[in-house]
Amino acid sequence: MGVDTILTDGIIPAPVRRRPEALLQVEQLSIDIATRDANVRLVDNVSFGIGRGERVALVGESGSGKSVTAQALMRLNSRVKLSGRVNFDGKDLLSLSPSQMAAMRGQRMGMVFQDPMSSLDPLMTIGDQVAETLRIRGISKRNARQRALDVLDELKVERAAERLDSFPHEFSGGMRQRVVLAMALVGEPDLLIADEPTTALDVRVQERVLDLLDEISRRRSLAVLLITHDMGIVAGFADRVMVMYSGRIVEENEATLLFAEPQHPYTRGLLEAVPRADVTVDRLRSIPGAPPVPAARPSGCTFHPRCDRAMAICSSVEPGEAITPSGARVRCHLYGAG
């Protein structure tokens, strides 16, 4: 269709654009899991970078591989096999020993999950839990407690000093999520990975938590990888967006450009499928079918059975990466050699 594109080789992945101050550099990361009958590829050959202080969203539907990717970066799931490279500030994370990796997690990288209760110990006080990573590092009890208090203040937990000695069940859902954020942030990491941190919260509480995250990431130059399925949250928070479909990153661009000029048919479809609270439309455009499961991923472009622009080549050949004039990094034959 005559799109001007910068073509890249369809077989060898294009080199990842290195940003001047790259903090995290993921190259050709694949994640496999051995089930009883077969080896299943959950995430297939993804490459991306995150700059210092940059806020990147990883968006996709259920089962697309977002959480598996996040856990791989933190090496939290020992049941999967990782291949490729994950470079964090000059260190190859995939070759660190478990204890070196544990130190990275406590000090340089923090993570929060959707359900705050899964990260909280119901029998331990808030103060002790927030201070724990510091105590492990050998910081004195007094100093650790002071820093726990500071970070709870930073997260605008009211009467934080009194609440250091309370227990998780005494907190509301939104407050618990702030405590979990405090646990991840107390060690002053350079990167925070937040996996659906507000999905369980009501909209007003969600907005508050995202505002806090926004403020802290700017103040501290904290890089954030925000995982979500909500395009609205992405739009309000991210500098850059990666769209994941069935274990692959199919499009990546600056947030404003991705929303203004989505290139991949899946990205376009997703944006047109979201109802909006600020405008009335007659009918949503839906994408037919449903996302595939990893064990039954379609051949060629995994989106082809659902794509209204699919061509003959799409069902047999996996599209390589191309960069479009709008700056999108996209995997789709519309932008390939065709």
Partner 1 sequence: MLQIDHISKSFPAGRGQRTMVLDDIVLNVDEGQSVGLVGESGSGKSTIIRCALGLAQPDSGRVSYSGIDVHRASRFDTLRFRRDVQLVFQDPYASLNPRMTVEELVGEGLLVHKLETTAAGRRARVVEMLRMVGLGEEALARYPRSFSGGQRQRIAIARAVVIRPKLLICDEPVSALDVSVQAQVINLLQDMQAQLGLGILFVAHDLAVVRHLCTTVAVLERGRIVEHGSREQVFDAPQHPYTKALLEAVPIPDPAIGRARRTERQLAT
Ligand X SMILES: Nc1ncnc2c1ncn2[C@@H]1O[C@H](COP(=O)(O)OP(=O)(O)OP(=O)(O)O)[C@@H](O)[C@H]1O
Contact residues toward ligand X (CB under 6 A) are 33, 42, 60, 62-68, 79, 229, 293-294
- When the beta carbons of 190 and 252 are compared against ligand SF4, the nearer one is 252
Give the residue among 73, 67, 82, 71 at the shortest CA–CA distance from 34.
82
Residue 67 near which of ligand SF4, Mg ion, partner 1, none (CB within 5-8 Å, type-dependent): Mg ion
CA distance 138 to 141: 9
Residue 274 binds which of ligand X, partner 1, ligand SF4, none (CB < 5-8 A, kind-dependent): partner 1
d(CA 130, CA 151) in angstroms, rounded, equals 9
Q: Which does 215 bind (CB under 5 to 8 A by kind): partner 1, Mg ion, ligand X, none?
A: partner 1
We find the least distance from the C-beta atom of residue 99 to ligand X, in angstroms, to be: 24
Measured distance CA(194)–CA(55) in Å, rounded: 11
308 binds partner 1 (CB under 8 A): no
- Our finding on whether 314 is near ligand SF4 (CB under 6 A) is yes
270 forms part of the interface with ligand SF4 (CB under 6 A): no
Rounded Cα gap, residues 152 and 183, in angstroms: 9
Contact window for ligand SF4 (CB under 6 A) among 15-23, 186-194, 304-312, 320-328: 304-312
Tell me which residues touch Mg ion (CB under 5 A).
67
DSSP helix/strand/coil, 161: helix
Structure tokens at 213: 């995250």
SS3 assignment for 92-105: EHHHCCHHHHHHHH
Given a contact cutoff of 8 angstroms between Cβ atoms, the answer to whether 266 and 250 are in contact is: yes
**81 alpha carbon, distance to own chain's centre:** 19
- What is the identity of the amino acid at 139? I
Per partner kind, with CB cut-offs from 5 to 8 A, the member of ligand SF4, Mg ion, ligand X, none near residue 229 is: ligand X
Task: List the strands of the sheet with 80-88, edge to edge.
Answer: 39-51, 22-34, 80-88, 91-92
From 243, 301, 323, 328, residue interacting with ligand SF4 (rule: CB under 6 A): 301
Report the C-alpha gap between 164 and 82 in whole angstroms.
39
Strand partners, 24: 50, 88
Instruction: Determine if 310 is a binding residue for ligand SF4 (CB under 6 A).
Output: yes
Residue 309 contacts ligand SF4 per CB under 6 A: yes
Site for partner 1 in 40-69 (CB under 8 A): 61-62
Determine the interface stretch with ligand SF4 among 37-45, 93-101, 211-219, 311-319 (rule: CB under 6 A). 311-319
| 192-251 residues near ligand SF4, rule: CB under 6 A | none
Residue 336: closest CA among 291, 300, 290: 300
Where are the alpha helices (H) located in 66-137, listed in sequence order? 66-74, 98-107, 126-136
Which listed range, 30-38, 67-75, 122-130, 267-275, lies at the site for partner 1 (CB under 8 A)?
Answer: 267-275
d(CA 171, CA 168): 6
Binding status of residue 311 toward partner 1 by CB under 8 A: no
Q: Of residues 179-238, which lie at the interface with partner 1 (CB under 8 A)?
A: 202-204, 206-207, 211, 214-215, 229-237
Give the one entry of ligand X, Mg ion, ligand SF4, none that residue 304 binds, where binding means its C-beta sits below a cut-off of 5 to 8 angstroms depending on kind.
ligand SF4
Q: Which residues bind partner 1 (CB under 8 A)?
A: 61-62, 202-204, 206-207, 211, 214-215, 229-237, 255-256, 259, 269-271, 273-278, 280-281, 283-288, 290-291, 306
